[in-house]
Amino acid sequence: MQVFETIAAFRTARKGYAALGFVPTMGFLHEGHLGLVRRAKAENGAVAVSIFVNPTQFGPNEDYASYPRDPDRDLALLKDAGADLVFLPTPDVLYPPGFATRIEAGGVADELEGQSRPGHFSGVATVVTKLFNIVQPQRAYFGQKDAQQCAVVRRFVADLDIPVEIVVCDIARETDGLARSSRNVRLTPENRQKAPALYEALQEAARLFRSGERNTDVLEGALRVSLIKAGLPDIDYATVVNADTFRREGSCSENALALLAVKAGAVRLIDNMPL
């Protein structure tokens, strides 16, 4: 496994691979990331991973500074998972003085997270486009946990004709159902105990949907009740949307997607489930 901090060095090494899968990450890797790495390796013969906590996708009052980081542990995990190339730039490598460009992903990017976190998806679209141009993979792998991010990436990759196939992989969960996330380590013991309630709320909404419920108000009410009962009342959103548009519809279509964003103390947790 080779590790590079500069674009030029990475590009030189990249020439040694005809095909490459790619997993962009913000580090502090968990089993969700490692599953993507193993699948990318299996499907492309070789895999590149980037580790970069991208400052431009964090708002001024968000957790950029406190986002967990442990590159040494990440590199050990990536070596075990079979990574071939790792790109580990510092912010000044990707955003040198004079940097002035941003990609505005419209459409799905304007909903939910786009409203809760202004500028977030523009930061994501810009850095992912940069990373794709540096890594030049055949396929890139993303986790369904960031469902809206996956839809945004598909949108701008199609719109900009970027020649990379986007592969979305299932959510990796802890044994109690909590979606794996780098931010989970920052939960207090008490909130860690409450956190599986997100998954349980989604399961409850899925049960209602399977039993025929299509009224969005009712499904959203059930999500909220589950969260509040579990002691997680600080709900950013608990909604059911059309999975193509990420827009709420009064009566759910068949491709309904339930989405949650909840604050558990200082930690913002997200989760989702197709209904």
Q: What does the longest C-alpha to C-alpha distance in the chain come to?
A: 57
DSSP letters for 151-185: HHHHHHHHHTT---EEEEEPPPB-TTSPBP-GGGG
As a whole number of angstroms, the distance between CA 105 and CA 239 comes to: 22
Instruction: Count residues binding a copy of itself (CB under 8 A).
Output: 28
Residue written as token pair 């989702």:
272
As a whole number of angstroms, the distance between CA 235 and CA 53 comes to: 25
120 is catalytic: no
The length of the chain is: 275
Cα separation values, 172 from 30, 35, 142, 177, 192, Å? 9, 8, 12, 9, 16
Strand order through the sheet with 235-242: 235-242, 256-264, 267-274
Q: Which stretch binds a copy of itself (CB under 8 A): 24-32, 35-43, 133-141, 191-199?
A: 133-141
Which of 4, 25, 33, 147 is labelled catalytic?
33
Binder of a copy of itself out of 36, 134, 167, 230 (CB under 8 A)? 134
- Least distance in Å: CB of 247 to a copy of itself? 13
Binder of a copy of itself out of 59, 91, 106, 118 (CB under 8 A)? 106
- Least distance in Å: CB of 156 to a copy of itself? 4
- Least distance in Å: CB of 4 to a copy of itself? 14
149-188 footprint of a copy of itself as x/- string (CB under 8 A): ------xx--xxxxx-------------------------
Residues at the site binding a copy of itself, with contacts judged by CB under 8 A: 7, 11, 98-109, 125-126, 129-130, 133-134, 136, 155-156, 159-163
Catalytic residues: 33
